[in-house]
A = this chain, B = another copy of it.
Amino acid sequence: MNGYAQDKDAYLKRLKRIEGQVRGLHRMVESDEYCIDVLTQISAVTKALQAVSIGLIDEHLKHCVAQAVAEGGETADAKVAEASAAIARLVRS
């Protein structure tokens, strides 16, 4: 079971909202809205995505990584390395 399972509906709602925001960006460009206003909206979408990723990492650590660590051995090492790589991608994106 995934870490985010218990908050699945909340994540689905947030992603649906972000999808709507990106559609809104499309409408803004379609109707030639001012560059700065489009840029401001892009920053908002980026922050919303960031918040989802921070939530997912937290739940992944709490459930998937914690479970693997409880098992110990190579399972734990692989799971922690995988989480670290995902965190590195987020920090660098």
Q: What are the interface flags for A31-63 relative to B under an 8 Å C-beta threshold, 1 for contact and 0 otherwise?
A: 011111011101101110110111011111110
Q: Known contacts A16-B26, A72-B70: does B54 contact A88 (CB below 8 Å)?
A: yes
Please tell me if the beta carbons of B64 and A66 are within 8 angstroms of each other in the complex. no
Q: Kindly list chain B residues whose C-beta atoms are within 8 Å of the C-beta of A47.
A: 93
Q: How far is the CA of A40 from the CA of B39 in the complex (A)?
A: 23
Q: How many positions in chain A have a CB within 8 Å of any CB in the partner chain? A: 64
Q: Which of B2, B36, B56, B66 contacts A69 (CB 8 A)?
A: B66
Q: Known contacts A49-B46, A70-B70: does B30 contact A90 (CB below 8 Å)?
A: no
Quote the shortest CB–CB distance from A86 to chain B (angstroms): 5
